Amino acid sequence: MDQKTLLINLQKDFVKVANEGTLFEKGTEIYAKEIKDGTFLLFNVFADKRRMPIQAMIATFDSLESISLNAPNQLLFQLKINNIADLHYLKTYLSAAV
């Protein structure tokens, strides 16, 4: 799976969260999915894709609505996705974690 395919899947399977706070830089698209009570898998797609194209995070938040407004209660995992190998690592990590 390449980054373009990942973005298509995110738009289908995840909720797009409005980026209205200061947690993520302006122009960042945030896609979230609750994987356990209060624990979310996030994909942050940055506007400046050359600097940091996509970031995956697993973090706890009070609610889906608080994701862009408040810092996470706890950051459990974070990965900068630059290439296909990073996507395979993420898939392996998620398989082992579940």
* DSSP, res 22: S
Q: What percent of the chain has a predicted confidence (pLDDT) above 90?
A: 47
Q: How do residues 43-64 score in pLDDT, each as one tens digit?
A: 999 887 666 678 999 999 999 9
Helices (H), 1-98: 3-13, 84-97
Domain residue limits, the chain: 3-97
For residue 98, pLDDT over 70 is answered with no
What average pLDDT score do residues 17-25 get?
89
* Positive or negative: CA dihedral 57, 62, 68, 69: negative
Q: Estimate the share of the chain in helix, then strand, then coil, as percent rounded to the nearest 5.
A: 30, 35, 40
Q: What percent of the chain has a predicted confidence (pLDDT) above 70?
A: 91
d(CA 74, CA 34): 14
| Residue-averaged pLDDT of the chain | 86
